């Protein structure tokens, strides 16, 4: 299962897209809008890293929540 996903009111899960995360950084620049993509290995150097999460969610989806795997609650997304 995915560590981070967006879930709608019907229970449909939308995982983060690693290729879209890499494309985002290629477009907007590493170090400007993020440090690593979801395709990159996270270094074990104890430094803070910013990673963009990009999701493909239908515009008709409602009741969206960002969920972390194993967590009982999520964060609502305003629409």
pLDDT truncated to tens, each residue of the chain (79 aa)? 578 999 999 999 999 999 999 999 999 999 989 999 999 998 999 899 999 999 999 999 999 999 999 898 899 998 7
Q: What is the pTM of this model?
A: 0.84
Is residue 24 within 8 Å of 33, Cβ to Cβ? yes
Tell me how far the alpha carbon of residue 68 is from its chain's centroid: 10
Range of the domain at 10: 4-76
What is the C-alpha to C-alpha distance for residues 16 and 71, in angstroms, rounded to an integer?
17
Domain count, the chain: 1
């Amino acid at each position: 299962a995915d560590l981070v996903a967006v879930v709608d009111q019907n229970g449909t899960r939308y995982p983060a897209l690693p290729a879209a995360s890499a494309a985002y950084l290629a477009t907007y620049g590493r170090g400007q809008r993020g440090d690593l993509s979801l395709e990159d290995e996270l270094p074990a150097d104890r430094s803070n890293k910013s990673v963009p999460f990009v999701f493909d969610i239908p515009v008709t989806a409602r009741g969206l929540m960002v969920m972390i795997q194993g967590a009982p609650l999520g964060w609502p997304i305003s629409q």
